[in-house]
Structure formats: structure tokens, C-alpha cells
Structure 1
Amino acid sequence: MSTSPALQALDNSGVAYRIIEHGPVRSLSEAAEARGVEVPDVVKTIVVRRGNDDFLFVLVPGDRVISWPKLRTLLGVSRLSMPDAASAKAATGYERGTITPFGSTTSWPVIADERVRGREITLGAGEHGVAVAVDADAALAALDGTYADVTDPEAP
């Protein structure tokens, strides 16, 4: 495997991590099985647009979705959106499904749902079929991120 910008950034951060190579997956439950973790520990990195060329990363447990009202209230804004795949890649340097705050072309702010606090989580590693397992608290500290209640349970 090549040394992706994500792995280089992790190395530079000093955050301990374990690489998990698992090949293609079609769903969060497949990703959890391939990574040997529970679905909540497959943490999705969602790129959110606040304005023109103003983005942030939201780390969302696999069994939850962004609560737009909670996130808007936290950020003090009335409007947020999700960029299309091309805009997300332009903002981060990563394709959808591989996005991680580590090694992003721009260091956007990071907000992690409070439910990942104190857990080992898995994140994308900048390449399809590759993830990293990290301590959420160490990762968030390295990213100068914030914990907040910004998700709701995924609808059944």
C-alpha cells in the first residue's frame, strides 16, 4: 500500500493507529464486518459546507446521521449543505468513501459526535478499501477538534 497523505499526517501527528486493509465494501455493515468492529465504530467523515470555500468535517458514528438542526445551532448558522462529490474532493483531496480529516488538502475544523468519545474508532484512510483504527480522543486532540451532540439515530 502506498503511503497516503492520511497515513503521513497520522505519522506526523503522533497518534497511534492500526491500518485495516479490507477491499471493497458496499455498506456500513459490510465495512464493520470487514474491519472487525461494530457499526457505531465505523465513523463516517462527512464534509459539510458552511459557505463558499468554507467547509468542516463532521465525524458521525456508523449507526447515526447528522442532525442538521443540532449542527446549525452549534455553529450559529441558518444554512448548511453537503457538497457534491467533485466539490468534496476539491475541498479535501479525497474521493467520497475515503475522506478523512487527516491529510486533507485543507485543515478544516472537525466536530465529532460526542458518542465516539473514549472509544477506538475506524476512519477512512484516504484510499478505497483501507481504514485506520485510532483512539477517538487522541485523534480529536491531534485535529484540534470538538465533541458535540450533532447526530440522531439512523432511521430504521
Structure 2
Amino acid sequence: MEIRERPAAGSLFEAAELLGIPASGIVKTLVVKRSDDTFLFALVPGGRSISWPKLRALVGVNKLRLPEPELALAATGYERGTIVPIGSTTAWPVYADESIVGRRIAMGAGAHGYSLFVEADDLIAAYGATVADISVPEDR
């Protein structure tokens, strides 16, 4: 695990450029709200977004959504753009897109201007993450 300081970035693509890696090398930790007011983390690489039908089927629910920024902060202790399962105020279940397996990835490090580099397989094992196809290419 390595934490690297970098200039503040306005987007994932800008952060990737600053780090000298492809956008797909940055994994977004997305906080997802369930209808029972609990949450989960979805790990999705840059350039891709959550496939809501796939994630709902995997979790076994009919409704999932991204919460408002204030609710995501309350659920994790982190602001959007810095969220990471490591050190979250609650150990929510983790769902990882299968495309990150076997890769060294960068992700939020809990504060703006920092990136955490970690082996995805170690992160998946540490959190008992469910690995599946949960993403689709982003519209750009």
C-alpha cells in the first residue's frame, strides 16, 4: 500500500493524468444506498459506471441509488472524491467489479490531493468483497 500526494484534481481523468496512469487504473469507491437505509461500497474502475440492473440482481434488491453527498459523508466519514473502504466509519459490504482483479489500482485516500495505491486482490481479500461484473462503459 502506498499513499501518494498529488495536486488537487477536478475529475478522475485529471487525477489519472497527474498520476501518469490510465483512467481505468483509478478505482472509484461509490457509496450506494439501499432501500433499508443501509449502504454498500461499489468499486468501479475509471471510464466505467455502475450497472444498476447487474448490481441490484447481485445484491438481491429492487432499489439502489447514490446518496446525496452529505449522506455519503455521514455513512463513511469521507467526502465524495476521497471515499475508500479503508477506515470508513462503518464496515459496509464491498462489491468489486471483476475488471479490477489482479491489478495494482489507485483510489481515494480519505483526503483531497492524495491517492492510495493498493493491490486490488489484497483489498478484495481484506474486505471479503464480492467480485462480479457490476459495471458498464461510461458515456463520455
Could you say which TM-score interval applies, normalised by the shorter chain? Answer: over 0.9
1:130 to 114, 119, 138: 114
Task: After TM superposition, list the pairs within 5 Å mapping 1:22-101 onto structure 2.
Answer: 22-101=6-85
- TM-score, with structure 1 as normaliser: 0.87
Give the structure 2 partner of residue 146 of structure 1: 130
Task: Extract structure 1 runs of 4+ deviating beyond 3 A.
Answer: none
Deviations 1:90-126 (A, max 9, x none): 0000011110000000000000100000000001110
Alignment partners' CA distance in 1, 2:35 and 2:77 = 18
**SS of aligned partner of 2:123:** helix
Q: Output the aligned Cα RMSD.
A: 0.9
Secondary structure of 1:37's counterpart equals coil
Gaps of 5+ in 2: none
Aligned length, in residue pairs:
140
Q: How far off its partner does 1:53 sit? A: 3.2
What is the CA distance between 1:85 and its match in structure 2?
Answer: 0.6
Identity, in percent, stands at 54
Answer with 29-38 or 107-116: which moved more.
29-38
Say whether residues 1:109 and 2:109 are aligned partners.
Answer: no
Q: How far, CA to CA, are the matches of 2:3 and 2:70 in structure 1?
A: 27
